[in-house]
Structure 1
Amino acid sequence: MPKARAGKRPRRERPEGKAPGILFNTGAGQHILKNPLVVNSIIEKAALRRTDVILEVGPGTGNLTVKMLEKVKKVIACEIDPRLVGELQKRVQGTCLANKLEIKVGDVLKTELPFFDACVANLPYQISSPFVFKLLLHRPFFRCAILMFQREFALRLVAKPGTKLYCRLSINTQLLARVDHLMKVGKNNFRPPPKVESSVVRIEPKNPPPPINFQEWDGLVRIAFVRKNKTLSAAFKSSAVEQLLDHNYRIHCSLHNREIPENFKIAEKIQTVLKDTGFSEKRARSMDIDDFIRLLHGFNSEGIHFS
């Protein structure tokens, strides 16, 4: 058996997920996109322009960031981990790209978003839902967002009425934006690999937005989708729902100087609205945006509000 050379130690492989000086925190969603083909494909689908200001969330070590900096006016990268901020700064230091990069350190969910033309990001998956709605309610409008999500979350975003994954997330997102599934991304394209498969989605806000009070809308949809397989008649018989709507109705009547009959029962009024609108026996799982708009209008016209 050949002997090892004196003074030479066997080479040790760096543990998976560890960059020089950095052990990625997978609990915080730190899965770095390492495949340059996937990076290039995301950038291609974003259709970046030379004049664009791009918002990136969770830039990691900057594989996507650097490629975007070569194509746009500016990238504003939001990163919560100071170690990764240091890595990103070192990567562009002394290059012509440095003055095109702005780094915001902190939790993106707790900070006001800056002006941007497009958002391109491999998001930490645990902030997916709140970040999507922070984006969609952001003003002024941006052109589009190209975002990496956990596969099942992405499929919920694009799910249609009557399908298994159709849920409150689906209808709320589709009310405010056009959503398209662009491509699947396997777990081995990341370092370290996540436990789930991923997908890239394109979100384009509807501009102008639908003339609907989103808080009202979400209040109604939330009640309907708590048990999406129940009829709406059954879903609205919850005592908590009745108490909430009774409280809101009394405030509405007080503001509009309307007298409430002594024998008034909110449960009866709710069921009357459901029957009159034709949705009493409908189930949330099969209702589309137009159905919920009609139902919301039916409740509101009778003084019943959800926010």
Structure 2
Amino acid sequence: MAGGPVRKAKRAGGGSQYPIQGMEFLKSKGQHILKNPLIVDSIVQKAGIKSTDVVLEIGPGTGNLTVKLLQVAKKVIAVEVDPRMVFELQRRVQGSSHASHLQVIQGDILKTELPYFDICVANIPYQISSPITFKLLSHRPIFRCAIIMFQREFAMRLVAKPGDSLYCRLSANAQLLSRVDHLLKVGKNNFRPPPKVDSSVVRIEPRNPLPPVNFKEWDGLVRLCFSRKNKTLGAIFRQKNVVALVEKNYKTYQALQGALGSSASTDNGATDLSMMADAGSGRGGGDAEEGGGGQGMDVDMDGGDMDMDDDGDEVTKGPVNKYKEMGLAVLREGSFEDKRSSKLSQDDFLRLLASFNARGIHFAN
């Protein structure tokens, strides 16, 4: 998404490009111009910018939002991939009193090493919402907050609570690392060209300090649980591929413990959250409702015949499999066996992960 000039536009042939004074805005690249100045003002106001703040703006376009940010911030760092937009943005502020307070970085936000900033304000391309979100949350030092325009469905997944229909892996991961609040809905007609979906502005405030948890472990467990979020955890941990994963990870962890000692699992992954970036998209939310819930889970296993549950998933049957029993024992001890991921809170997942770890069962592989 790009914040550009409010000018009359004629529709180009094919409906995919809108020329504005010789510049074509490409919907395929997420270039939709926010044309409502009241929404621009509201975004700036809700950001709570101080006169001493450095603001990071992602996808400034031709600068509608940038100009407003420069009026209240000490400095604005704008990251823009389109060289035409960079030129227009620089031309727009040239000769003004704010020109010296603007730094423009031309490049792909996902490949750019971000400098220090206090607040992030962005109208982003919706197709990269998830990787941008977790790139920001992995940034150090921790910033104060981010005010971001997302596709509405993605935004509602970010803020969804346990029991909500949109609650998913994305919700759990984002809310572990930050406080997320919905600020306002923005209809598609506030943009030129209008996107196919409505949008929402969300405030993301990173937790500081971060919770004391290994984030690779956390994401591994949450990914597994949300592979079938409406099934009971007991049913999930009876599936053939899940039991195989428990066995594989248990053996790997024991081998690491033997080689490295107790330090094998001390890193909490606080600055590497890239594995969470595929936790959801505006369309799918990352529930992975099809499939077994993670990589490396198609390993064949010994010790037990197979049967199918009501959803067609292979489950262990016959001779007792000790790895299945290890997993189920953890669930029973914590009264989780009959619970569903869609209803579990952050504290529930943290307690469940701690219980598995105490039994030597890990999810980082």
Structure 2 match to 1:280: 337
Q: Does the 8 A contact of 2:57 with 2:76 survive in 1?
A: yes
Output the TM-score relative to the length of structure 2. 0.77
Query: Which consecutive segments of 4 or more residues in structure 1 shift more than 4 A?
Result: none
1:236 deviates by 2.5
Q: Does 1:234 align with 2:235?
A: yes
- The residue that corresponds to 1:292 in the other structure is 349
State how far apart, in whole Å, the 2-side matches of 1:72 and 1:125 are: 26
Aligned equivalents of 1:133, 1:123: Cα separation in 2: 14
Describe the SS at the equivalent of 2:210: coil
Q: Report the alpha carbon displacement of residue 251 of structure 1 after superposing the two structures with TM.
A: 2.1
Q: How many angstroms apart in 2 are the aligned matches of 1:13 and 1:43?
A: 26
Q: Does 1:32 align with 2:28?
A: no
AA in 2 matched with 1:151: R
Choose from 322, 325, 331 the match for 1:268: 325
Q: 1:142 to 1:238 in 2, by over 3 A?
A: same
Q: Distance in 1 between matches of 2:238 and 2:30?
A: 40
SS in 2 for 1:59: coil
CA contact (8 A) 2:243 2:323 kept: yes
Q: Deviations over 1:209-228 (max 9, x none)?
A: 11111111011000001111
Aligned twin of 1:251: 252
| Residue of structure 2 equivalent to 1:14 | 10
2:326 aligned partner, one-letter code: K
- Residue aligning to 2:279: none
Distance 1:137 1:210 in 2: 14
Quick check: 2:57–2:121 contact (8 Å CA) kept in 1?
Answer: yes
- 2:82 aligned residue: 81
Kept after mapping to 2: 8 A contact 1:54/1:76: yes
Whole-Å Cα distance in 2 between the matches of residues 297 and 272 of structure 1? 14
Aligned to 1:129: 130
1:58-69 matched pairs, under 5 angstroms = 58-69=59-70
Matches of 1:304 and 1:138, distance apart in 2: 30
Match of 2:111 in 1: 110
Q: Please give the secondary structure, in 1, of the residue aligned with 2:182.
A: strand
Q: Which moves more between the two structures, 274-283 or 237-246?
A: 237-246
The answer on 1:100 being equivalent to 2:94 is: no
Structure 2 Cα separation of the partners of residues 25 and 248 of structure 1: 46
5+ residue gaps, structure 1, are 1-11
The alpha carbon displacement at 1:257 in A equals 3.7
- Tell whether the 8 Å contact from 1:223 to 1:236 is kept in structure 2 after alignment: no
Report matched runs for 1:95-244 at 5 Å: 95-244=96-245
- Is the partner of 1:61 in helix, strand or coil? coil
SS of alignment partner, residue 120 of structure 1: strand
Task: Report which of the two structures shows the higher radius of gyration computed on alpha carbons.
Answer: 1
Q: Distance in 2 between matches of 1:226 and 1:116?
A: 36
- For the residue of structure 1 that corresponds to 2:55, the secondary structure is strand
Change in CA separation of 1:50 and 1:275 when aligned onto 2, cut-off 3 Å? same
Give percent identity, aligned residues only. 61
Offset, 1:13: 6.4
CA distance in 1, matches of 2:181, 2:160: 10
Task: Please list every run of 5 or more consecutive structure 2 residues that lacks an aligned counterpart in the other structure.
Answer: 1-7, 13-17, 260-302, 304-319
Establish whether residue 305 from structure 1 lines up as the match of residue 362 from structure 2: yes
Could you tell me which residue of structure 1 aligns to residue 71 of structure 2?
70
Q: Note the alpha carbon deviations across 1:149-203, whole angstroms, 9 max, x for none.
A: 1111111111111111111111111111111111111111111111111111111
Q: Is the 8 A contact 1:80 1:105 kept in 2?
A: yes
Between the aligned partners of 2:9 and 2:134, the Cα distance in structure 1 is 42
Corresponding position of 1:7: none
